[in-house]
Amino acid sequence: MSLAQRLADVRSRIADAARAAGRTAESVTLVAVSKFHPVDAIVEAYGLGVRDFGENIVQELAEKSSAIAERGLDVRWHFIGRLQRNKINLLVRHPIHRMHTVDRVELADAVAQRAPQGGLDILLQVNIGREPQKGGALPEETLTLARHVLGLSSIRLRGLMAIPPEGVAAEPYFAQMRDLAKEVRALAPEASELSLGMTHDFPAAIAAGSTHVRVGTAIFGTREKT
């Protein structure tokens, strides 16, 4: 199956899931996760109308961002990986549309100190499954972190992100995130985004109110890290 066919299938599934939830397909932003895939694949997807792309390694995003900029394409980059403070300077040299993985006060402060002129939109990552190997604030810590971020003028809180545990039903975790997102919106109405769902579970995420789905394999196919 070609990239165009896979993308059409993903878009159809997004539209079906949104319709079933009483929403429009336009209320869901498709973030095409291009990690480990070549620039040419990004260019092809861009030609098919994709504008939002996600990367989870700072160096890879930096290299691809430069290559895409040289081609004159206006891509919206989403950083979706764990971020080390020593990589922030490299990351913010590039036009980041949204950072999905701010998960602690120290990281929020470091990002705020280095944010580009005009500020930076961020999401708070929540460790909804309480998995020690994953990043993310614990659910009970999230409102405190949100309040802290709201006091930082150079970053803007836009919502929440989470990755449920693998191998179990995602729906209960998505439901918890939906409820937590309501609490955050009570603090900050502009923090209305919810980034949930990947290739294997994005229809369920849309049913739970996700506004961003991060889909890689279903669009680009499988590719091993080289």
Q: How far apart are CA 12 and CA 122, in angstroms?
A: 28
The predicted pLDDT at position 223 comes to: 75
Q: How far apart are CA 214 and CA 195, in angstroms?
A: 8
User: What confidence tens digit (pLDDT) does each residue in 7-51 have?
Assistant: 999 999 999 999 999 999 999 999 999 999 999 999 999 999 999
Q: Please tell me the pTM assigned to this model.
A: 0.95
pLDDT score of 224 more than 80? no
Domains of the chain: 3-220 (3.20.20.10)
Q: How far apart are CA 188 and CA 169, in angstroms?
A: 30
For residue 141, give every residue at least 6 positions away whose Cβ sits within 8 Å of its Cβ, in sequence order, or none: none
The predicted pLDDT at position 225 comes to: 59
Surface-to-core class of residue 43, CB atoms within 10 Å of its CB (0-12 exposed, 13-18 middle, 19+ buried): middle
User: What confidence tens digit (pLDDT) does each residue in 71-114 have?
Assistant: 999 999 999 999 999 999 999 999 999 999 999 999 999 999 99
